[in-house]
Amino acid sequence: MAQRTSGRGLAGELAAEFLGTLILILFGCGVVAQVVAAGVGDHDSIAWAWGLGVTLGVYVAARLSGAHLNPAVTVALACFKGFSWRKVVPYSLAQTLGAFIAALLVRWNYTEILGKADPGHTLKTQIVFSTLPGNGTFPVSEWGALRDQIIGTAILLLLIFAITDLLNTPPGANLAPFIIGLVVVAIGMAWGTDAGYAINPARDLGPRLASYLTGYSHAWRNQYGNLYFWVPIVGPLIGGVLGAAIYRYMITPFLPAESEEQEPGRVPAPKEE
């Protein structure tokens, strides 16, 4: 009997990144459409749906590609975990395309609701698809939003590196995707005001392009009329590398080797004789 062809080639990896990111954005942009345009739900439902979207997207893609779903994750892994640099651009394009197609689906499905809530397709519902400084309301500049995106993505990558580090205390029973989803929930609840916690260039750029092509002519600018699309791209790329570097140089060198017996009271504790 012929052996089954391995699905671990680059095509399979890119398909996984595309579909995993698509799932993420279907839940993420979908919940914002419900809250902003239909008044169904609130800030907490947005934070939870984004986190669950991450969890479900990771479960879809993890076996084939590692489920980066975020160019900031891909770049950080290339910098510190030996991920191939030749795959960085293809992964990032697949992630952005997945986000773009998902946003088009959300835009199509919520056509009537968005049209009723905001007939002119203004910044009021632009926020369904892409982020704005101060969520379009509070007096935050592009530079304040850039600072926020650097910090928020640094937190994200530091925690992803911790959660997935087999020498640290990784979650058991295949729960890492769920815990990473909770990280996104927490970031949304604690770091969502200054810039809408994009913390992912693909998550913002793909839907921003989709909204621009479907009637949001001002999609590239913020409420002040300034070009803003670059902030949720540059900020996460810087922050991701920063957060990964903090973990790499402040935690990794001090972790015990797999074979090294740990001091009693540490987690995980060594097995009893």
What whole-number distance in Å separates Cα of residue 131 and Cα of residue 110? 18
59 and 136 in contact (C-beta within 8 Å)? no
Segment 146-167 mean pLDDT: 97
**pLDDT tens column, 171-184:** 988 999 999 999 99
- 170 in Cβ contact with 97 (< 8 Å): no
- pLDDT value at 22 more than 60: yes
Report how far apart, in Å, the C-alpha atoms of 110 and of each of 129, 136, 139, 184 are.
12, 21, 29, 25
Domain 11-251 has CATH 3.90.76.10: no
- Ranking 174-188, 191-205, 246-260 by mean pLDDT, the lowest is 246-260
pLDDT of residue 267: 53
Residue 5 predicted with pLDDT over 50: no
Dihedral sign for Cα 148, 152, 157, 158, please. positive
User: In one letter, which amino acid is 133?
Assistant: P
Indicate the pLDDT class of residue 1, thresholds 50, 70 and 90.
Answer: very low
Against a cut of 0.75, is the pTM above it? yes
How far CA 104 is from CA of 22, 109, 123, 129, 251, in Å, comes to 10, 8, 17, 10, 41
Q: Tens digits of per-residue pLDDT, 204-252?
A: 999 999 999 999 999 999 999 999 999 999 999 999 999 999 999 999 9
